[in-house]
A and B are shown apart, each in its own frame.
Chain A
Amino acid sequence: MPASWILLIIIALSVIGYFIAKQRALASGGGDRRVLHSLPKYYGTNAALAAAAPALLILGIWMILQPVVIDSIISSNLPEAVQADRGERSLAMADVQRIADGLDTAVSRGAMTADEAVDIRVGASNVRERLAEVGVALGSEVDANTLQMAQEYRALTSTGNIWRAIAVLVVALGGLAIAYMMTHKDFRARNSVERAILSLLIAAACVAILTTVGIVFSLIFNTHDFFSRYPAEDFFFGTRWEPSFSGRGGASDLGFLPLIWGTLFISLIALLVAVPLGLFSAIYLSEYASKPVRSIVKPLLEMLAGIPTIVYGLFALLTVGPLLLDVFGRDGVLGVNWMSGGTAAMTAGLVMGIMLIPFVSSLSDDIINAVPQAMRDGSFGLGATQSETLRQVILPAALPGIVGAILLAASRAIGETMIVVLGAGAAASLSLNPFEAMTTVTAKIVSQLTGDGEFNSPETLVAFALGMTLFVITLALNIVALWIVRRYREQYE
């Protein structure tokens, strides 16, 4: 029975449970709702939850675990040599899966009978052609072993699905029955619904946390895998980034330094643009601007934050790059020939800086506004001008918070991808010239993974090591920044 049917049945049971439990509760109170402990709808909800929640939980877990279990059972039939290598094993299992899916499709289209799909053998008929007839294209001839494994896979899956339906429906009915039996005028349905809601909320929080943990672990495992194929010191201290894509295991230089250099260089340019502009506009908005001006300018500035970064990337590629080239390029206005192409660290840095302005300004604005009015009054009361007050009282008081804001902006800059992909070029270089093409960690993660490589060569796995390193750097920056901002908030509470 397909999962969608099971789902429908659970919902139906749950709705039925709602009404019969409500009915029973009313009946147990002799039709007088005032003698019930809870409102009738709570008894109904309680039964509905009892029918649906555990059943759905089991269904979910089953759907996650069944493929894993079947996978491990089937793959034990693979030759020893294939099993040992993670990459080959996953390739072989992908083949098995594809054939199994193909057989499913064939059966559902009527091109094969169900029995035929189970019994078909390589010698007797050409499986590849039969599957091609129903639109399932296979890359190579099907060998006997793989076909058999695919058939076994199908058999296991269908048995699993039957047991899944049975287990889930039993649980749903059981839950419904228990809740129905418990429904009585003295039963505290309201409290039990309350507890159920609490656990629902906790479950939601857990999903979010577990997902994060899962992401981190997958990063860690794959990073570990990478370092087992490529020496860590060559990665961290290598000064050349020259991945080879021709052959697996060919000599690639996967040095991290040029990438992190590009990242930091471009981020620095971005911050040099964003911090003064953002900070000054925050100061203007919070200290000088009149209400009407503020109410127009602030949303406008924050609108910048809503522009997708790919649009900034286009802006870098099509507008800022050529513009810079016109000024600093060979035939440029200055005639200096510092720049040979539109894509350069400067291009990406400038545009990224513009992107970060609202980020810096709106955080700084909040922080400057959090400096109590009493500080300003005190300073004005002593005959200080607005800019004296600003420089000597407000900014020093707000400084830790502003530093926090800048660090947050820095971690945004370091993690930014699209603007770099489009604006900075693709060549990894350890150059000091901001008008030269550079590339960053994030941009290289993209380029290592866009392609059809399997995840079993250092050239692709390096993406995880890069991601992990970046994650650690931005995490550290964020923690420091949040710590500073929090400490600053406490100062005035």
Chain B
Amino acid sequence: MRDNFRAENDVTTNAVKIAARNVQVYYGETHAIKDVSVDIEDKTVTAFIGPSGCGKSTFLRCINRMNDTIDICRVEGDIRIDDEDIYDRRVDPVQLRAKVGMVFQKPNPFPKSIYDNVAYGPRIHGLSRNKSELDDIVERALKRAAIWNEVRDRLHAPGTGLSGGQQQRLCIARAVATEPEVLLMDEPCSALDPIATAQVEELIDELRQNYSVVIVTHSMQQAARVSQKTAFFHLGNLVEFGETDKIFTAPEDPRTESYITGRIG
């Protein structure tokens, strides 16, 4: 299996951003991720697909060490970002999460104003020297998240008062405001209507210019639309990884094919 994606790597042009080797994740006794190795490239959108409970979110949360916040979770193996082992003891997970932003399935703006939501990360990490710099950062982030025009005259209204799609874009703005290098998105559109989904998808495509984006999705169409690379997980295994086009047109593994054609759900 690993040979499959080695072959894919050979034809890629972008540098490898995240390299995972033999990753195992356990929740107590449950073995949730089984020996996964994968190379995720810079300036690329990588989609994780697979049936529910196959470990997509778990693996995604390994990349910014969010699993550290779960008591019973244990991660083994080796994950490197820019060739630096993120599970090394010298790495501060808090610093790491500033570099690896995350957007969650359900929009989760803080019960604060729109401005304070976006300024939250920059304030914590001291990214601005004064108010006007902070204003700039907030404005830039909101623009990148394609929501600036909708909220520019109500920056001090509560973020929780926005519509679902706006909230999710606000969360994306909040994540990009800390200038991450990698953006992890866990089913960012599953709580959104089709129009909001289209907006967020468009946004993801733009974000690719600057970031390495990893997106978990339940929608095969979405994976096909926004990603260049696709990884198919099944029961904790990485079954197949490769160019999105190839996965969807000529999958090599019979399990991938059954899933894509709707036989595993």
Which residue of chain A lies nearest to B111 when distances are taken between CB atoms in the complex?
A397
The 10 A-B residue pairs with the shortest CB-CB distance, nearest first, are A383-B98, A381-B102, A374-B108, A383-B97, A382-B121, A378-B108, A397-B111, A384-B124, A385-B94, A383-B94
When chains A and B are docked, how far (Å) is the Cα of A397 from the Cα of B121? 18
Decide if A382 touches B124 in the complex (CB within 8 Å). yes
Q: Are A382 and B97 in contact (CB under 8 A)?
A: yes
Asked whether A491 and B104 contact (CB < 8 A) given A379-B120, A382-B98, A384-B124, the answer is no
Interface of B is mostly: helix
12 A-B residue pairings within 8 Å (CB atoms) = A374-B104, A378-B108, A378-B174, A380-B97, A381-B102, A382-B174, A383-B98, A383-B121, A384-B121, A385-B94, A397-B110, A491-B111
Partner of B104, one of A291, A381, A388: A381
A352-386 residues with Cβ-Cβ distance < 8 A to B are 372, 374-385
A277 contacts the other chain (CB 8 A): no
Answer whether residue B9 sits at the interface, using C-beta atoms and an 8 A cutoff.
no
| Bound-complex Cα distance A290 to B70 (A) | 11
Q: How far, in angstroms, from A290 to B96 measured CA to CA in the complex?
A: 24
What distance in Å separates the Cβ of A297 from its nearest Cβ neighbour in chain B?
A: 16
In the complex, A396 has a CB within 8 A of chain B: yes
Pair B110/A393 contact, Cβ less than 8 Å: yes
Residue B227 lies at the interface, judged by CB distance under 8 Å to chain A: no
| Chain A positions 379 through 411: 1 when the CB is less than 8 Å from some CB of chain B, otherwise 0 | 111111100100011001100000000000000
Residues of B within 8 A of A382 (CB): 97-98, 101-102, 120-121, 124, 174-175, 178
Instruction: Give the complex CA separation of A290 and B69 in angstroms.
Output: 11
Nearest CB of chain A from residue B65's CB, rounded to whole Å: 9
Which residues of the partner chain B approach A397 to less than 8 Å between Cβ atoms?
110-111
B97-A381 in contact (CB<8A) = yes
Chain B 218-239, CB within 8 Å of chain A: the 1/0 string?
0000000000000000000000
- Taken residue by residue from 85 to 105, chain B's Cβ proximity to chain A (1 for < 8 Å, 0 otherwise) reads as 000000000111111011010
> Quick check: B71 and A291 within 8 Å, CB to CB?
yes
B74: Cβ under 8 A from any A Cβ? no
Q: Do A383 and B108 contact each other (CB < 8 Å), given the known contacts A291-B71, A378-B171, A392-B120?
A: no
Q: Is the CB of B110 within 8 A of A378?
A: yes
CB distance from A69 to the nearest CB of B (A): 62
Interface residues of A in 245-295 (CB under 8 A from B): 290-291
- Determine the chain A residues whose CB is within 8 A of the CB of B104 once the complex forms: 374, 377-378, 381
Nearest B-chain residue to A378, judged by Cβ: B108
Task: Map CB proximity to A onto B113-124 as digits: 1 under 8 Å, 0 otherwise.
Answer: 000000011001
Q: How many residues of B contact A (CB 8 A)?
A: 27
A388 to B120, CA, bound (A): 10
A384 to B123, CA, bound (A): 10
Q: Chain A residues near B69 (CB, 8 Å)?
A: 376-377, 380
A491 CA / B178 CA spacing, docked (Å) = 28
Interface size on A, residues (CB 8 A): 21
Minimum CB distance partner of A389 in chain B: B124
Q: Verify B108–A372 contact, CB threshold 8 A.
A: yes
Chain A residues, CB < 8 A from B174: 378, 382
Besides A378-B104, A382-B97, 19 other A-B contacts (C-beta < 8 A): A291-B71, A374-B104, A375-B108, A375-B110, A378-B108, A378-B110, A379-B110, A380-B69, A381-B101, A382-B102, A382-B124, A382-B175, A383-B96, A383-B98, A383-B124, A392-B120, A396-B111, A396-B112, A397-B110
Cβ contacts under 8 Å, A396 to chain B: 111-112
**Contact indicator B71/A290 (Cβ below 8 Å):** yes
Q: Report the Cα distance A328→B71, complex, angstroms.
A: 47
Complex interface: chain B residues within 8 A of A290 (CB): 71
Q: How long is the Cα–Cα vector from A396 to B120 in the complex, in angstroms?
A: 14
In the assembled complex, the Cα of A382 lies from the Cα of B111 at a distance in Å of 16
* A393→B159 CA distance, assembly (Å): 13
A-chain residues with CB within 8 Å of residue B71 when the two chains form the complex: 290-291
Chain B hits for A393, CB < 8 A: 110
Q: In the docked arrangement, what's the CA distance between A382 and B98, Å?
A: 5
CB distance from B103 to the nearest CB of A (A): 8
Question: B165-178, CB under 8 A of A: which get 1 and which 0?
Answer: 00000010011001
Taking the nearest CB of chain B, how far is it from the CB of A484, in angstroms?
15
B54 on the A face (CB < 8 A): no
What residues on B are CB-neighbors of A388 within 8 Å? 124
Name the residue among A291, A375, A382, A396 with the largest chain B CB count within 10 angstroms.
Answer: A382
